[in-house]
Amino acid sequence: MTRPWTDAARPVEDRVRDLLAAMTLEEKVGQLAQVANPEPERDAAALAAGAFGTCIVASGEHAGNVRDAGTQAAAVNALQRAAVEGSRLGIPLLVARDVIHGHRTVFPIPLGQAASFDPELVRECARAAAREASADGVRWTFAPMLDVSMDPRWGRVAESWGEDPWLSAVLGAAAVEGFQGGPGGSALADAESLAACAKHYVGYGLAQGGRDYAEVDVGPVTLHNRHLRPFRAAVDAGVATVMSAFHTLDGLPMTAHRPLVREHLKGDLGFAGPVVSDWDAVGELVLHGVAADRRDAAALALGAGVDIDMVTGAYGTHLAELVRDGLLDPALVEDAARRVLTLKMRLGLFEAPYTDPGRAAAVQLTAGHRALARRAAASAVVVLRNEGALPLDAPDLGHVHVTGPFASARAELLGTWTLDGRAEDVVTIADAVRERLGGGPGGPGGATGTTVTVDDARFLDETLIQARAADVVVACVGEHPMRSGEANSVTSLELPPGQTELLEALARVSRRLVVVVLTGRPLALERLAHLGDAVVLAFHPGTEGGHGIVDVLTGDVPASGRLPVSLPWTTGQVPLHHDHLPTGRPLDPDGPAGRYRDHRDTPQHPFGFGLGHGEVTYGPPSLSATTLGPGQDVEVTATVTNAGSLPVVERVQLYVRVRLGRVSRPVSELAGVRTVELEPGASAAVTFTLGYADLGYRDARGVLECVPGPVDVRIAPHAGAGAAVRLELLDGDAPGPSTGTRPAVSAGTGARGGDA
Ligand code: BGC
């Protein structure tokens, strides 16, 4: 048989059309079936028949929270050979895996990466992960997760970019471009690129009570302005695939949500790639009570616009029969198969289906990737409190004691969803302290006699004796990764049992106590408000976690992490986010009449907060014009000064409050971030450009509109600070298309608040 679709010189659409014309109905359906962990011998007949088009390498147990056997190029090549050489049409397989925040080299969890407020860093981490995973034969990752996370009891907040839709959109788009090798999917055919997957479409971050998989109820305005925003940005960035979520939204499971998947995502937003279900979610339609059986579920899901059935097997078993029985339009199967085949061609799989088995050793865990992981881990560290205890700079530290359950932890630093990271690769916090401060003879601290001792606080009497003897105590506490991530919700955001008591005991005997909190979620650290001399939040920092954390503790790297989520005082305050709506009874945060009778109304630490090793002051913002009309831009500038004695890396944030709309607008909306590096005493004028459309808001149909009226604009170190300047939005026609435009951001040089 001649195979005109293999001619790479022809346009992809023509090749896919010719291939579809040569395919049987069963072969087309095969492209829509995704199986887990196929094996060339065991699955030879299915591979020869083209019974599945994609596969996922995953154990399915513990929702990806344990390391599995993984995959290697040789194993993928054997499968690929069976598909390409053993089947009638020679269609290559597409191999997927959850490459979430690294592969062999593990970067901080996404929530930690978000604390960098740095899209360039996120892009680099995703690029490095793609380079490593593609060397093992993987060409599709189920990342980034774009669920704007409203409830930190939900374990999957760890996989998210936090609570803010603008930040989620900017960082999510950067991750897409990193995985895919560039904007618009133009570099997908590069052997080092992965197809990205924007997940979980949509609203999953609202799971009721923070209970994973639970129902979601959300109105259309909030859905369009908050939860769909990062998905629009991902589509604009050229994301290759989208995953529908597990939950029901207003009673309808997302796997069967025709209005949001087929009509909005594929229609209004023009998404042209395949939509994949979540794991077994087609089958779960029966459990949700909207499908009588799996055959019914298959028809519902495909009709809703879900092109690929991840592991249920319902598509493979039932779709052809449904078409033959006249119960399913064959054009739906054709369209879904076209989306899958187009992606395979764009990835260059028809030309280069095999992976060079020698590449993994050359590209995984390289010095360059380790250096990036170290930089990323340092960028994720948020200093919450510092009563003169930091930085820990040699030479006069004396005796440093490192303690707590994470002092010598390895695998635990990697965080949730690290299928390919290895404990033995991890630099522990204790090792990094020893290396940097202990030194031994000739080491940085050794020459002056700094000694470092370590224990893991298993025998508290012994720990307290050592702490009392030390000049500095570094206590490493926090959440085990199995307490966050999928299916791991909690009812209390406090430190796990016993840890606060450990810290209280240490505080009583320590001369200088530095608390390092490792976590997958925002915690309620009220009991640490006055405890110890410094508290830092390091999330789950990855392979180079020890180095990254110690780089910040010592001041070798300026503390630049900022909170991508508000930190509540207590669990009962959640959900709590900076961009809430005003009420008709505004609250004076310092006044006597709070809403809660038993606690404060504001967070312990607001969104965007994080201290540097010094003092930074912000001048008042000024505008290049006081009015803004359609098609116009306005520049907002403030002078930021390093008033301290150490260099700083400042994440300067732009917030707006649009005072008038057809619906009530949030009291604070993040609209831009810029990074400035300032030497002691130095100042910089930081300028943001705001466009007219940046101040728009979407209506219940998703259409962007601007309402004339006053806007307060702030340039501030976090959501809870900064003086506002008043801008007047003028009348005009609704700006731009309903899909909006991707926010353009260049970290370190500038940021432009854009609608996504
Ligand atoms: C998760 C997804 C993941 C998939 C495949 C599901 O349980 O919700 O995020 O990509 O499994 O492993």
Q: What is the DSSP string of 132-177?
A: HHHTTT--EE---B------TTSGGGGGS--S-HHHHHHHHHHHHH
Region 156-160 average pLDDT:
98
CA distance 616 to 641: 6
Shortest-distance atom of ligand 1 to CA 64: 12
Distance 146 CA to ligand 1 centre (A): 13
CA distance 262 to 106: 35
pLDDT at residue 748 above 50? Answer: no
Distance 59 CA to ligand 1 centre (A): 11
Going 284 to 290 to 292 to 294, the CA torsion angle's sign is: negative
| Strand 724-729, strand 745-746: pairing | unpaired
Three-state SS at 205: helix
Shortest-distance atom of ligand 1 to CA 197: 10
Distance 312 CA to ligand 1 centre (A): 13
Q: Using CA positions, which residue lies closest to atom 11 of ligand 1?
A: 279
* CB burial string 86-112: b at 16+ within 10 A, e below: ebebbbbbbbbbbbbbbbbbbbbbbbb
Structure tokens at 590: 């310092």
Is residue 299 within 8 A of residue 318, CB to CB? The reply is yes
Distance 29 CA to ligand 1 centre (A): 22
Backbone φ and ψ of 453, nearest 5°: -120, 160
pLDDT of the residue at 260 = 98
Distance 380 CA to ligand 1 centre (A): 25
Residue 396 pLDDT class (50, 70, 90 cuts):
confident
Structure tokens at 542: 């990855």
Region 596-618 average pLDDT:
95
CA distance 392 to 473: 11
Distances (CA, A) of 176 to 132, 158, 179, 225: 16, 18, 5, 20
Is residue 403 within 8 A of residue 490, CB to CB? The reply is no
Catalogue the long-range contacts made by 479-483 (C-beta closer than 8 Å, 24 or more residues apart): 479/518, 479/519, 479/520, 479/521, 479/523, 480/412, 481/65, 481/158, 481/412, 481/414, 481/415, 481/416, 481/418, 481/520, 481/540, 482/65, 482/416, 483/155, 483/520
Shortest-distance atom of ligand 1 to CA 200: 9
Q: Using CA positions, which residue lies closest to atom 8 of ligand 1?
A: 278
Lowest mean pLDDT segment, chosen from 114-123, 569-578, 735-744: 735-744
Shortest-distance atom of ligand 1 to CA 63: 7
CA distance 439 to 115: 30
pLDDT of the residue at 737 = 39
Distance 63 CA to ligand 1 centre (A): 7
Three-state SS at 4: helix
Q: How far is CA 92 from the centre of its chain?
A: 30
- Find out whether the peptide bond into 152 is cis, omega within 30 degrees of 0: no
Is residue 489 within 8 A of residue 426, CB to CB? The reply is no
If we measure between CA atoms, which residue out of 754, 580, 608 comes closest to residue 672? 754
Q: Using CA positions, which residue lies closest to atom 2 of ligand 1?
A: 278
pLDDT of the residue at 61 = 61
Distinct helix (H) and strand (E) counts, the chain: 20, 29
Cβ < 6 A, ligand 1 pocket: 56, 58, 63-64, 98, 142, 199, 278-279, 486
Going 325 to 326 to 332 to 333, the CA torsion angle's sign is: positive
Shortest-distance atom of ligand 1 to CA 143: 10
| Strand 669-678, strand 648-658: pairing | antiparallel
Distances (CA, A) of 437 to 255, 363, 397, 406, 719: 53, 31, 8, 18, 36
Backbone φ and ψ of 447, nearest 5°: -60, -30
Is residue 370 within 8 A of residue 544, CB to CB? The reply is yes
pLDDT at residue 437 above 50? Answer: yes
CA distance 724 to 617: 15
Shortest-distance atom of ligand 1 to CA 199: 9
What domains can you pick out in the chain, each with its CATH number? Answer: 4-361 (3.20.20.300), 381-560 (3.40.50.1700), 616-746 (2.60.40.10)
- Helix 330-346 to helix 294-304 angle (10° resolution) is 60
Residue 734 pLDDT class (50, 70, 90 cuts):
very low
CA distance 460 to 421: 31
Is residue 176 within 8 A of residue 209, CB to CB? The reply is no
Residue type, 736: G
What is the best residue among 65, 97, 98, 309 to mutate for testing ligand 1's pocket, by most ligand atoms within 8 Å of CB?
Answer: 98
Lowest mean pLDDT segment, chosen from 448-452, 546-550, 581-585, 609-613: 448-452
Residues tagged active-site: 278
Distance 255 CA to ligand 1 centre (A): 14
Q: Using CA positions, which residue lies closest to atom 10 of ligand 1?
A: 142
Q: For the segment 305-339, what is each residue's pLDDT rounded down to a tens digit?
A: 999 999 999 999 999 999 999 999 999 999 999 99
Lowest mean pLDDT segment, chosen from 129-138, 444-453, 585-594: 444-453
CA distance 721 to 224: 27
* CB burial string 733-744: b at 16+ within 10 A, e below: eebbebbbbbbe
What is the best residue among 55, 154, 279 to mutate for testing ligand 1's pocket, by most ligand atoms within 8 Å of CB?
Answer: 279
The mean pLDDT of the chain is: 94
CA distance 139 to 354: 11
CA distance 230 to 513: 40
Q: Using CA positions, which residue lies closest to atom 6 of ligand 1?
A: 279
CA distance 367 to 307: 40
Q: For the segment 267-310, what is each residue's pLDDT rounded down to a tens digit?
A: 999 999 999 999 999 999 999 999 999 999 999 999 999 999 99
End-to-end CA gap in the chain: 47
Distance 567 CA to ligand 1 centre (A): 27
Shortest-distance atom of ligand 1 to CA 159: 9
Greater pLDDT, 737 or 162: 162
Q: For the residues of 358-396, what is the DSSP string, one character each?
A: THHHHHTT-HHHHHHHHHHHHHT-EEEEESS-----TTS
Distance 278 CA to ligand 1 centre (A): 6
If we measure between CA atoms, which residue out of 53, 46, 65 comes closest to residue 20? 53
Region 123-135 average pLDDT:
98
pLDDT at residue 366 above 70? Answer: yes
pLDDT at residue 62 above 70? Answer: no
Distances (CA, A) of 374 to 95, 121, 378, 747: 29, 11, 6, 18
What is the best residue among 68, 142, 147 to mutate for testing ligand 1's pocket, by most ligand atoms within 8 Å of CB?
Answer: 142
What is the best residue among 54, 141, 486 to mutate for testing ligand 1's pocket, by most ligand atoms within 8 Å of CB?
Answer: 486
Q: Supply the Cα-derived Rg of the chain in whole angstroms.
A: 26
pTM for this one? Answer: 0.96
